[in-house]
Amino acid sequence: MDSIVVTGNGPLKGSIPIAGAKNACLALMPATLLSEEPLTLTNAPRLSDIKTMSSLLQSLGGEAMPMADGKVLALSSHDLTSTRADYEIVRKMRASNLVLGPLLAREGHAEVSLPGGCAIGARPMDLHVHGLEALGAEIELRDGYLHAKAPGGLKGAEIRLSFASVGATENIVMAATLAKGTTVLNNAAREPEIVDLVKCLRAMGAQIEGEGTDRIEIQGVDRLHGATHQVVADRIELGTYMLAPAIAGGEVECLGGSLDLLGAFVEKLDEAGVDVEATENGVKVRRRGDRIQAVDVKTEVFPGFPTDLQAQMMALLCTAEGTSVLEETIFENRFMHAPELGRMGANIEVHGGVATVHGVERLKGAPVMATDLRASVSLILAGLAAEGETVLNRVYHLDRGYERLEEKLQACGAKVERVSGQ
């Protein structure tokens, strides 16, 4: 099994290209199930999760082929042969559940295994199920599968989510595009990935209004057609690489990034002592002083501080001057990186959903283990400024969400190397 070795090597200098958003692409790909015509996605990230979703679509009889340099995905579902999303594929990735809504809308029935992915909390399917049931679906759980059918077809309805779930919003919006009548989804998620999905669906002929707000209205149509759509930049990858010079020092420009994607995160960086500047080509980041200032962080749904940047922010605050408090409100069990940072000399106390970080002057390299996708990259960031060598194991988590990470950091002077397992 591969590992990544990071050696603290001083300030960073250079530029890092930001890939297309993993979470956006994983919602866009199932949209092909809504139409018999081809869907082409450009600026797609080259990640293991994208391959997993491709395998899932192919298992249903669809086509999912990377083109050019892998950043273009050619998708087609003109002749589906199955509506069963099998456990052996779905268990690998949470986003596999996003085939449920499109399959129900187009075929009138589906069997989807309960999903897997990172071990960062239960993340139940109840919001997806309740929303689809409001549209007329009949769904029951048997043998680990959601057995869903809509014998009379899906019909528009007024739905209110008890929590602004991104996945539930995506599943319901996709299903509603082919439902009869009008669907109004209240307390909808507002994330940029939702906006990107709606742009794509609209290009396919869907009639949708209100994306980016907490009220989305969908007027069902009889059919959708093919389209070409560019995947939005990955705001989590952007935030991650913005933290690299904040932690290690120096100055890095993130090419293709936009500050509009990360308002609350940028505010916290400024509060901590990090300069962030919009440029013609992206975003430039530099640390103002020798040491970061402690700040308090509370994760929230968009436009609040992203839960997917909490682990990376904790890595930054490990060497801050003062004490920081991080409150996780989105997922339980998402502080599993804290003990690993502790192995590097961090002083962190965790009580339930709150972590208290007492800043230390310097971290020290150590062997550490990735517990989930974002935790893995937080340990690499910590290693950039640690004394000595940090060895990260279980890097398959990292490969789910970051493409060519070693190359991107190396281009800025970081000493990061992937070592193949025996």
Instruction: Give every CB contact of residue 267 below 8 A, 6+ residues apart in sequence.
Output: none
Annotated ligand binding at 330? The verdict is: yes
Annotated ligand binding at 84? The verdict is: no
DSSP structure class, residue 277: E
Annotated ligand binding at 270? The verdict is: no
Asked about 254 being catalytic, the answer comes back as: no
Tokens in use for 250?
Answer: 């120096």
Annotated ligand binding at 125? The verdict is: yes
Strand order in the sheet with 347-351: 297-298, 323-327, 354-358, 347-351
Three-state SS across 143-181? Answer: CCEEEEECCCCCECCEEECCCCCHHHHHHHHHHHCCCEC
Annotated ligand binding at 124? The verdict is: yes
Cα–Cα distance, 80 to 61 (Å, whole number): 4
Cα separations (Å) of 42 from 21, 24, 146, 167?
Answer: 11, 12, 32, 22
Annotated ligand binding at 94? The verdict is: yes
| Residue 373 contacts residue 331 (beta carbons within 8 Å) | no
Annotated ligand binding at 71? The verdict is: no
329-365 as b/e, with b when 16 or more CB fall inside 10 Å?
A: bbbeebbbbbebbbbbbbebebeebebebebeeebbb
Annotated ligand binding at 18? The verdict is: no
Report residue 362: phi and psi, to 5°: -155, 145
Q: Both ends of the chain: CA-CA distance in Å?
A: 7
Which candidate in 118, 200, 254, 318 is catalytic? Answer: 118
Report residue 371: phi and psi, to 5°: -105, -20
Query: Which residues line the annotated binding site?
Result: 22-23, 94, 123-127, 308, 330
Please report, in range form, the residues annotated as the binding site for UDP-N-acetyl-alpha-D-glucosamine.
94, 123-127, 308, 330
Q: Which residues are annotated as a binding site for phosphoenolpyruvate?
A: 22-23
| Catalytic site positions | 118
